[in-house]
Amino acid sequence: MAYNPSSRTTILPLPLYLVVAALLWVSSCTSKDTAQVAPVDEYNPTPVTIKSGVRGIADPVIPADNPTTKEGIELGRFLFYDPKLSADGTISCASCHKLDKGMADDQVKSIGIRGQRTLRNSMAIVNLAWVNRFFWDGRSRTLEEQSLHPIQDPLEMANTLPQMVATLQAEAMYPPLFYKAFGTRTITSDLVAKALAQFERSIVSFNSRYDRYLNGLDSALTNTEIEGLALFATHPDPFSGRNGIRGANCGDCHSVGLFQGRTNGFQGFLNNGVQPQISDLGLMNVTQDANDMGKMRVVSLRNIALTAPYMHDGSIPTLEAVMDHYNSPDLFSRPKVDFLITEAVNQRFGTSLGLTAAEKAKVVAFMRALTDTSFVNNPAFKNPLGSR
Amino acid sequence: MKKYILLAALGLGIWGCTSKKEETPAPAPTSGIVLRIATKVAGADALLNRTNIITPTQDTVQLRALAFFISNVELQDATGATVWRETDSYHLAQYTADSAFVNLRLKNVPNNLSFNRIKFGIGVDSVANGSFSYVGKGDLTLGNGMDWDWATGWKFVLIEGIRRGPSGRGSVIYHLGFNRKYRSRTIELANPVVTAGRITANFTLNLDGIFSAPNLIPVGRINDEMGNSTTADSLADNFSSPQTLSWQGFTSNR
């Protein structure tokens, strides 16, 4: 090989031109592929698509400024389970969101830092990619925004963001994980929020017996559960036909499929009458609108059998008691209870929902069929820190 | 000479990579048609949770939720023959509290189609309404508040709000479903329209018409319709009537 500095062109013996030509042809065609094969410690995140896998459930909208990646989810999982995010290193996100409890806990109100009780029941953080407002009162628009609240809440983790960042920055394992996820070893609260949000979005549960039934396996549900589903989805109409249409009216609020409230503005926030006197204003704290007094987010009923006790205040211990609440003779007279509840009766001129004991039992049976056992055993959601 | 050979080699490399793209057939040109449905009361923009509707019975109604399906959109010529029909044509018009219109985008309308009529349904046709195989087509998605179930089908039209007035205070809930509530509309155009670029088909949804056009709905007495009653038929007629869902003409965005 010779080098001709005047022309600054590499000169090769003639036969080699054919080889070069062939190599150029191949390499220029495959350059995009080879660029993605990077050394292990390089920033090269792998995109991950969040899907339900269930026909009829649309793909969620992922924020463009925080695309979900394998590395982001993995970092988020470490952070989610790490008590170092709290002020005294005792409380992690997972302290109140336990996988075997459907990502909720079994407390009426959760226990935060230094044994303090939080103000509301722990929400089951499942299928949040399909949610448009977060917390019981809807105060966060995004998961990224939501994820930093508990860290700073004095009753929960009681940390400051600068202190949290400093703690994580000093941990040997975190800067490389942030580099893999975001291309920087400099940790910021914004990146912590993004990683936590990615992990939370990845927590997907769509493999209950109901889902298998939905996907065509008729035997996945028993006849009792199918009858419970029909009651669940039906708004009663006692004036329709000779015998009327009977229904438990659950689906008016817990929309079938996702089994949660509507995701159109604040339409998925309703007052279900659980407070005889409204002491927790809920959504009204966010909107300052008196019409929103006592409204709380209509949560998903997926894995509901695992997440007792129920309601924003944890005041109802069992699913059977939940049905009794909605069937209660005095529910309609409670303050600000939503008209989707008060307009649903099974008897002409009735003043309560009026389900029979057998009907309530069928609805409960159906709700138990929303438990996804593969979800609670999924290693992708388990603690990656072991016994640390 | 060798320089030229090297350039030729480079050229070969570039050609080798671009040839595949050249083999891909260019997509057929398509036009964009948007159905824009603006909510009005007495001619003014109407918003959820804000705008009052005065009914013929002098009740005041304020809606908090409004959603409905537009389906089976097709373009026809002057004889009524179909010149284009949208596949999986199920669009959910779902209003938010901060917007007095929704835009529904028709998919893959070919360019240079001449048409004289637009035909569509309000609701979900009986075939799709009764079959799980249609779940997931278009906007027939689960979890959007218009639930599909084997027994009940889809909610075609969802109207919820509060009322006050001579009939007292209370709620308004109309969830119109069941096959009998499906309604069809055909818009006759004054002159033929040719698809090209992006055009908007403008409709106004006059919310006061829900209670009066053409059937009087005494909202104090009939404030809750979920079933398959004749009153629900009247509501479906009102919702789809030319007075309530009125045609405003095309605008071009070219």
Structure confidence by residue, pLDDT tens digits, B94-109:
999 999 999 999 988 9
Selecting among A74, A144, A156, A227, the annotated active-site residue is: A156
What one-letter code names the amino acid at B35? L
pTM of the model: 0.86
Shortest alpha-carbon distance between residue B78 and chain A (Å) = 37
CB contact under 8 A, A255 and B143: yes
Residue A56, token pair as written in the block: 């009829």
CB contact under 8 A, B145 and A255: yes
What one-letter code names the amino acid at B139? D
Tell me: pLDDT of B243 over 50.
yes
CB contact under 8 A, A24 and B148: no
**Which residues of A fall within a CB distance of 8 Å from B65?**
262, 264, 267
Report pLDDT digits (tens) over A145-174.
999 999 999 999 999 999 999 999 999 999
CB contact under 8 A, A25 and B16: yes
**Which residues of A fall within a CB distance of 8 Å from B151?**
230, 233-234
Tell me: pLDDT of A360 over 50.
yes
Q: Categorize the per-residue pLDDT at B186 as very low, low, confident or very high, splitting at 50, 70 and 90.
A: very high
For residue B229, what is the nearest residue in chain A, using CA coordinates? A240
Residues 6+ apart with CB under 8 A from B164: B59, B60, B170
Considering only the beta carbons, identify the residue of A55, A237, A264 that sits closest to B226. A237
Report pLDDT digits (tens) over B199-222.
999 999 999 999 999 999 999 889
The ipTM of this complex is: 0.83
For residue B9, what is the nearest residue in chain A, using CA coordinates? A21
Whole-angstrom distance, CA of residue A249 vs CA of residue A238 = 13
The pLDDT, as a whole number, for residue A277 is 96
Residue A246, token pair as written in the block: 């009977």
B160 at interface of A, judged by CB pairs closer than 8 A: yes
Shortest alpha-carbon distance between residue A304 and chain B (Å) = 17
Shortest alpha-carbon distance between residue A291 and chain B (Å) = 10
Shortest alpha-carbon distance between residue A339 and chain B (Å) = 6
The pLDDT, as a whole number, for residue A42 is 78
B98 at interface of A, judged by CB pairs closer than 8 A: yes
The pLDDT, as a whole number, for residue B25 is 60
The pLDDT, as a whole number, for residue B252 is 84
Whole-angstrom distance, CA of residue A242 vs CA of residue B228 = 12
C-alpha atoms less than 13 angstroms from C-alpha of B103 in its C-beta half-sphere: 8
Q: Report the share of chain B in percent with pLDDT over 90.
A: 72
Q: Categorize the per-residue pLDDT at B3 as very low, low, confident or very high, splitting at 50, 70 and 90.
A: very low
For residue B6, what is the nearest residue in chain A, using CA coordinates? A17
Tell me: pLDDT of A319 over 70.
yes
The pLDDT, as a whole number, for residue B28 is 60
CB contact under 8 A, A339 and B170: yes
B250, containing H or E segment: strand B245-252
The pLDDT, as a whole number, for residue B16 is 41
Q: Categorize the per-residue pLDDT at A41 as very low, low, confident or very high, splitting at 50, 70 and 90.
A: low
The pLDDT, as a whole number, for residue B23 is 54
Tell me: pLDDT of A275 over 50.
yes
B60 at interface of A, judged by CB pairs closer than 8 A: no
Shortest alpha-carbon distance between residue B149 and chain A (Å) = 7
Shortest alpha-carbon distance between residue B122 and chain A (Å) = 20
Nearest to A176, CA basis, from A380, A40, A85: A40
Average pLDDT rounded to a whole number, residues B79-101: 96
Contact predicate B201/B32, CB 8 Å:
no
Q: Categorize the per-residue pLDDT at B167 as very low, low, confident or very high, splitting at 50, 70 and 90.
A: confident
Q: Categorize the per-residue pLDDT at B235 as very low, low, confident or very high, splitting at 50, 70 and 90.
A: very high
Query: Is residue B38 packed enough to be buried (19+ CB in 10 Å), middle (13-18) or exposed (0-12)?
Result: middle
The pLDDT, as a whole number, for residue B98 is 93
Q: Quick count: other Cβ atoms within 10 Å of Cβ A174?
A: 22
**Which residues of B fall within a CB distance of 8 Å from A339?**
160, 162, 170-171, 173
* Least-confidence region, from A28-32, A206-210, A345-349, B23-27: A28-32
Tell me: pLDDT of B117 over 60.
yes
The pLDDT, as a whole number, for residue B29 is 67
Report pLDDT digits (tens) over A255-274.
999 999 999 999 999 999 99
Q: Residues in chain A, how many?
A: 388
The pLDDT, as a whole number, for residue A215 is 85
Considering only the beta carbons, identify the residue of B136, B150, B175 that sits closest to A56. B136
Tell me: pLDDT of B11 over 70.
no
CB contact under 8 A, B143 and A240: no
The pLDDT, as a whole number, for residue B150 is 65
**What is the 3-class SS of B128-191, one letter each residue?**
HHCCHHHCCCCCCCCCCCCCCCCCCCCEEEEEEEEEECCCCCEEEEEEEECHHHCEEEEEEEEE
**Which residues of B fall within a CB distance of 8 Å from A55?**
135-136
**Which residues of A fall within a CB distance of 8 Å from B149?**
229-230, 233-234, 251, 256
Tell me: pLDDT of A311 over 50.
yes
Tell me: pLDDT of B48 over 50.
yes
Tell me: pLDDT of A303 over 80.
yes
**Which residues of A fall within a CB distance of 8 Å from B102?**
none
CB contact under 8 A, B171 and A258: no
The pLDDT, as a whole number, for residue A4 is 33
CB contact under 8 A, A24 and B13: yes
Q: Categorize the per-residue pLDDT at A387 as very low, low, confident or very high, splitting at 50, 70 and 90.
A: low
B127 at interface of A, judged by CB pairs closer than 8 A: no
Structure-model confidence comparison of residues A241 and A56, the more confident one: A56
Any catalytic annotation for residue A156? yes
Tell me: pLDDT of B24 over 70.
no
Tell me: pLDDT of B129 over 80.
yes
CB contact under 8 A, A230 and B151: yes
Considering only the beta carbons, identify the residue of B5, B149, B171 that sits closest to A343. B171
Average per-residue pLDDT for chain A: 90
Q: Residues in chain B, how many?
A: 254
CB contact under 8 A, B10 and A24: yes
Three-class secondary structure of residue A237 per DSSP: strand
Considering only the beta carbons, identify the residue of B16, B143, B170 that sits closest to A29. B16
Structure-model confidence comparison of residues A369 and B13, the more confident one: A369
Structure-model confidence comparison of residues B150 and A101, the more confident one: A101
